[in-house]
Amino acid sequence: MTAGDNPYSHVKTDLNNPAGLTEVVMKKLLAAVTALAVGSLAPLPASAAPDQYLGDLSIYGASGAVPPNVLIIIDNSGSMQDKVPGDPYIKGTIYPGTKNPNAVYSSDKKTLYISNITSVTTTCGGANPNDLLATFGAYRGRSLSSTGSCNTKGSGTYYFGNYLNYLEYLKTTNTITRAKIDIAREVVKEVIATTSGIKFGVMVFKYSGGTGYGGQFLDETISGAGGTKYVSTVKDMDAIFTGTITNRTALIATVGEIRPQGNTPLGETLFEAMRYYSGGESAFGNVAALTNGKFTSPVEFSCQKNAVIFITDGMSNADNDPILKTLCNKGDCDGDGVEPTNMNHVLDDVAKTLKDGPQKVTTNTIGFGLDGSDTEAVVLLSRAADSDHGGGAYYNTRSQKDLIDAIGEIITKMQEVDTSIAAPVAAPSPENRSYGSGRIFMGCFKPSEEGAFWKGNLKKYGILSGTSKIIDASSKFATYVDQNNDGNDDNNPTESLPPSAANGTFRDGAKSFWSESVDGSFVDKGGVGEMLLKTPANSRKIYTVLPAGTNLVEFTTTNTNITATMLGVTDPITQTKLINFIRGQDVNDEDDDGDTTDNRKWTMGDVIHSKPLVVNYASFDVTTEESKCDKNKSIIYVGGNDGMLHAFRDCNGSELWGFIPPTLLENLKYLKERTHTSFVDSTPTAYIHDVGTIGKIDRSEGDLVILVFGTRRGGGAASTKSGGAYFALDVTEQDNPRFLWKIVSNPTITSGITATPGFEELGESWSEPKFVKMKVKGTDNIIRDKIVAVIGGGYDNVNEDGRYGKTQLFTRTGTVSRSDLGDGAVTSAAIGTQLNPKGRGIYFIEIGTFGSSGLTLAAGVNKIAEFTPVKYPSLAFSFPSEIAAIDVNNNGYTSRLYASDTGGNIWRFDVGASDPANWTARKLFSSNPGYGNSKAILSDVGRKIFSKPSVVSEYGYKMLFFGTGDREHPLNTAVVDRIYAVKDTGKAEMTENDLVDVTDDKLQWTTDTSGAYTVKNILDRLDNANGWYIKLDKNGGEKVLSSPLIFNKVAYFTSHTPGTAVTTDPCKAPQNLGTGRLYALSYKTGEAVINYDKSNDTFKTENTRAKTGGVILLDTDRVVTIGSGIPSGPGFISTSDGGGEVTTGGGRRLGTWETTPGGGIFPLYWRQK
C-alpha cells in the first residue's frame, strides 16, 4: 500500500439508489426488508414521549480526556498462510440481510440509530464518518447524534446496515477462503482506519533465518515519504508522520507489508511488548524505536488505559530465551508450577506481570483459526487473558467475521466507563439489629453512548469484623485504602497503590459475593447480573398489574390479558418479541450464535439512583448460615432501568421475582431504541411491623412488610403535562408479593391508566417515602394511631430541567431538548413562572391503622392530608427530596417535618396536632437572598436543593444541615453554591443575613489579638446567629448533591465539581467526569476537624484551634478529594464497639474515611424502616 491509498479519500456511492448496486441475492434482500417492517417497535402515535433528559447523567457524555494505548500483536508465523473462510467486504455491493442497507446502527449492531447514511456528517473529530461507514462499514470515534451530526462530547461505535448484512451473509455463505494473514492484515487496517480517539501500534514476531525470537516493531519505508521509514510504535493516529502523511496512513501501509514465516514465540513477543510499555531496554536486540538504548513508553498519564490485542493461530513453540526466567519465580508468576520446566506456557505469566505492573496493561487474546487439535493453545490463550492474568478477554475466531467482531468488541469496551452514583448500603445485622451485618451492597452501571440499554449490577461485599475494612468473598481486601493520600495502602503500608488508584478503588483481584471468579470493578462481571445469566429467561418470575387491575399477573407471552396496546406496539409478533426481550431472551441474537431462544449477553439493567434495601425475614448466623437459603431469608430490593423492581436472595444472589409497574408498560419498547430511558430508578422503602417473634417475619403472628416506591423519571413524560406514580406491595411473604395500591397523577400513556383523585399536584415520583407514626383524628372525631407515608410533591421535570444558572424564573416552554444541558457559566431564559407547575408540596398517605387486632392496612389509597398551593400559595417550587421527620415531644409520634424545594428553600411543617386541619407550614430559610430579599445581591440566585436536610437536636432548638446544588445540571458553573448549618429557634423566614459566613475559616486562621476577627468575637457571633455557611467558591461549579451525615459533632458533606476541558493532568478528572470531594466540618462552627491536608502541618501558629494534637488544622483541612464523578452521599459503617467510619461511593470506588475519635453509637430503640 502506498501513501496515496489514504483511508479518508474514497469515491462516494449513491446508497439511495439500490439499482446502482451490485445485486447479490435480491430475494433475500426483499425478505430482509419485510422482516424489518414486521420487527419494528414503532410506538403508537398517541403515546407521549418519555422523559429522557440526561440530568446528572450528562457528565458521562464527556469525551475521554486521555486516549487509550493499544498495541496489536499480529502472529506472522508460517501457519498464518493457512486458509479460513473470508469473503472480503466490497464497497458498492448490496448484501442480503435483516438490516436496512442504507441505515446506520449503534454499537450493539442491532439498534437502528440513523435512518439514512446520507445524513451522516462528513467531518467529526478529524474523521469523515460518512466516508468511513460507506467504505469500511464502521466508524469508531466522536459520537454522532441520531440525526447524523457530530456531537461535541462522547465517543461511540457505529455500523453501516449494508456492512452488518455482509456479516450476516458471511455466517451462511463462505464461497471464498483466504490466508489467515491476509484476513488479519485487512481487519487490522480497517480498525485503524475507522477508529478515532485511540492510539495504535503494531508488533510482530522477530525472525532470523525463520527462527522466531521475541517481537519487533515494523520498520518500513513508506512510498511518498522521501525514504523515511515508519516504525509501528503506538502513536496518535491523526498526527503527521511526514509531509502530509498521517500516522494512520503510514501504519496502514506498514501493516500491508507483513509476511508470514517461521515459528511462534508468544511469550517472548509479549515480553518485548512489556519492555516497550515500561520504557525499558529491548530484550531481543531490536534497534528500531529505541532512544539512547531504551524504548519510549507510550504511557503518558496514570489513568490512561493500556492494552495489548494478541492475534495468533497456534500454540507457542519458541519461548526459550533465558530472559523469560528473570520474571518473578523464574517465570512462574502465577504459581502454577509449569514454569520453568516448560517455558512455552509462560505467556500467561508475562500477561499477569503486565497487568500487575505500574502501567496496568491488559492483554486480550484472539485465537484465529484454531481447530480441535489446538486445545493446548486455547487453554493458554484463555489463561493469558483471564482476570487472574491479563485482565482482558479471550476470543476464539474461525473466520473473517469472527475476527472483525472480536476486535470491534475489544475496542468498544475500552471506551466504556464502569461507575456508580447511589450510596453503598450497609445492611442491618440479622442477629443484632442495633449494629451492621458486616455486609455492604452497591449498585452500579455502565453508560453506553448510543444504546438505550445500559448494563447494571448489584454487588455484595463484606466488612472485616470489628473494623470498617471492605473485604471480598475470599475475605481478602476488596479495595485499596489510602485515607492519608500518601500513595500507600493503609492496610499494608509497604504496598504502593497503582497509579490510577485512590482510596476506595476496587482491586482487580477482588471477588464480590455470589461471583464465580474475580470481578473487580467491572459492572458486567459477577454480582446479581451473573446470577441472572444462569437463570433461563422463561423461568423468571416477573409480575405486573394490568392498567385497570388490582392484582399481580405474570408478565409472559402466554398471558393473553397483556395486549400489544398495553405495551405501546402495533402487532402481536412485536408484542411477543418485546415480552421475551424484557424477560432476558436473546430475541435479537446479540451473540450471533444463531439461537434467539437463549439468554441475552447481559440482562440486568443499570442501577443508578436506586439504593438497595435489605430486609431480614429471619435471624441467622452470618458466619455459618449466610449461604444457606433455608436459613438466610433476607431479600434485597432494588430498582433497575431494565423495567422493573427486583427482589434478590441474599443467600446466593439469585432473583426471586421482578415487578413491572403498569405505568411503565408502554415504555418498555424504548429499551431497544436509541436513547437511554429510566424505569424503576428510585429507592424502595419498607415499613416493617414485627410484633411476633422478634427477628422473624411471620404473617400468622401479625407481622407485615410493606414496600412503597416511586420511579423517579421512569414513567414521566417529556412535557409539562408529565406526572408521577407510587406503588405499594405487601411483601410479608417474600416469595409471594401482593399488590396493594397505586397513586398515579397526570398519566400520559394510552393503556388505560387513570389518574388517582386528589394528587393533581404530584410531579415525577422522586421523593422516597418516609414512614412515620402519627395520631390522626378521623371524620368520626376519633383519634387513632396510624402509620403514614409522607412524600414530597415530586420533581417538576420540564420546568426545572429548562431552568439553570442565576435565575428563579422559567422559560415557559412545553419541552426541553436533551442537548440543553446548561453546560458552563450560562443561565437559561428568564421568562416567568412555571408552565403547568407541579410537585409543590407534600402528601400524607395512610399505610395502616392500629387497633385491638393490631395493624390493619388501608383499603386502597387514603390521603390523610396535603400541603399544596391550594392552601399555601407560597409553595412555589417542587419538592423532589425525601422528607426529614422528627419527634419533638419524644413520645413516639412524629410532630415536625422539614423539607427542601428546588427554589433553594427549607420548609418546616408542624404536624403534632391530631387534627390535620391544625397542621401548619412555613418557610424556614431561603438560600437565594436575591429572590424577594432587598438586602441581598439581586443577581445572587439560582440555588436549588435536591436532598433532605439532616437534623440534629440541640438544647432549645433544632439544627439543620444541607447544601445547595442543581443536580440535574451538574455541568453548570454560573452559580456559587453553599454548605449550610441553620438553627431552627422559631425565628421567622431566614436568609444568609441571619448566618455567619465561615468560608475563610478565620477561627483557625486568625492570629490577631484584637479586631473583628478574634476568636472570641467570631464565637460570639456564632452563638448569637442562627447558624453558619460556607461558599463553595474555590472550584467553579462545585455543588452539594446529597444529604450530609452528622456523627460525633462532625458534619460530613460530599460535593461534585464539573470537569474542565483543559488541564495539565487530565487524570484529575478522568473522562471529564469531574471531581468528588468529602468535607468534614465542626457542626457548630464549620471548622476543620480532621487533618486532611498534611502539607500545612509545618505552618507556624499559636492559635490553639488550629494547633491541635500535633497537627495543624486550617481551611484546606476541611476537605479531601475522593475521586472522579458524582459521589454518593456519605454513609456510615457501625462497628460493635459503637464506632465506625464514613463511606462514600461513586465512580469505581467504595471508600471508607476516618471519623473523629470519641463518641459512638449506642442503641436506645430500633425500628427498621
Which range, 59-73, 359-373, 673-687, 836-850, is most confident?
836-850
Give the three cell numbers for residue 789.
407515608
Domain boundaries, the chain: 18-27+68-414, 529-756, 764-952+962-976, 991-1025+1042-1169
pLDDT at 1070: 46
User: Over 90: is that where the pLDDT of 428 sits?
Assistant: no
What confidence tier does 1160 reach under pLDDT thresholds 50, 70, 90? Answer: low
User: Over 90: is that where the pLDDT of 337 sits?
Assistant: no
- Segment 508-525 shows an average pLDDT of 92
What confidence tier does 739 reach under pLDDT thresholds 50, 70, 90? Answer: very high
Contact 1101, 1002 (CB under 8 A): no
pLDDT at 550: 93
pLDDT at 707: 99
Report percent pLDDT > 70 for the chain.
89
Please tell me which residue, 1010 or 1062, carries the higher pLDDT value: 1010
pLDDT tens track for 207-255: 887 677 889 999 998 888 888 899 999 999 999 999 989 999 999 999 9
pLDDT at 22: 34
pLDDT at 1163: 45
pLDDT at 173: 73
Burial-class residue 279 by CB neighbours within 10 Å (0-12, 13-18, 19+).
middle
pLDDT at 793: 98
Whole-angstrom distance, CA of residue 1085 vs CA of residue 1093: 19
Helices (H) and strands (E) in the chain — how many of each?
15, 57
Give the three cell numbers for residue 77.
508465523
pLDDT at 25: 34
Give the three cell numbers for residue 818.
436533551
Give the three cell numbers for residue 1099.
505552618
Query: pTM of the full predicted structure?
Result: 0.87
- Segment 761-784 shows an average pLDDT of 96
User: Over 60: is that where the pLDDT of 1 sits?
Assistant: no
pLDDT tens track for 1021-1062: 999 999 999 999 999 999 999 999 999 999 999 999 998 654
Alpha helices, H only, 554-653: 572-583, 622-625
What confidence tier does 47 reach under pLDDT thresholds 50, 70, 90? Answer: low
- Segment 961-978 shows an average pLDDT of 97
pLDDT tens track for 258-299: 999 888 899 999 999 999 999 999 999 898 899 999 999 999
Give the three cell numbers for residue 637.
430490593
- CATH among 3.40.50.410, 3.40.50.300, 3.40.720.10, 3.40.50.1820 for 18-27+68-414: 3.40.50.410
> Virtual CA dihedral for 651, 652, 654, 658, nearest 10 degrees?
20
Q: How far is CA 966 from CA 440, 716, 1122, 1163, in A?
A: 29, 19, 20, 36
DSSP 3-state assignment of 83?
Answer: strand
The one-letter amino acid code at 622 reads V
Whole-angstrom distance, CA of residue 296 vs CA of residue 279: 5
pLDDT at 1066: 65
User: Over 70: is that where the pLDDT of 6 sits?
Assistant: no
- Segment 367-378 shows an average pLDDT of 79
Whole-angstrom distance, CA of residue 801 vs CA of residue 789: 27
pLDDT at 577: 96
pLDDT tens track for 432-478: 554 567 899 999 998 876 566 899 999 999 998 878 899 999 999 99
pLDDT tens track for 115-127: 999 999 999 988 8
User: Over 90: is that where the pLDDT of 1169 sits?
Assistant: no
The packing angle between helices 400-414 and 180-194, to 10°, is 30
Complete edge-to-edge strand list for the sheet that includes strand 884-886: 884-886, 896-900, 905-910, 920-926
pLDDT at 1013: 67
pLDDT tens track for 889-910: 999 999 999 999 999 999 999 9
pLDDT at 540: 98
pLDDT tens track for 559-583: 999 999 999 999 999 999 999 999 9
Report the range of poorest mean pLDDT among 49-63, 502-516, 531-545, 1028-1042.
49-63
Give the three cell numbers for residue 98.
435483516
pLDDT tens track for 915-949: 999 999 999 999 997 543 445 456 789 999 999 99
Give the three cell numbers for residue 822.
446548561
Instruction: Indicate the average pLDDT of the chain.
Output: 87
User: Over 50: is that where the pLDDT of 11 sits?
Assistant: no
What confidence tier does 206 reach under pLDDT thresholds 50, 70, 90? Answer: very high
pLDDT tens track for 155-178: 788 899 999 998 888 877 766 888
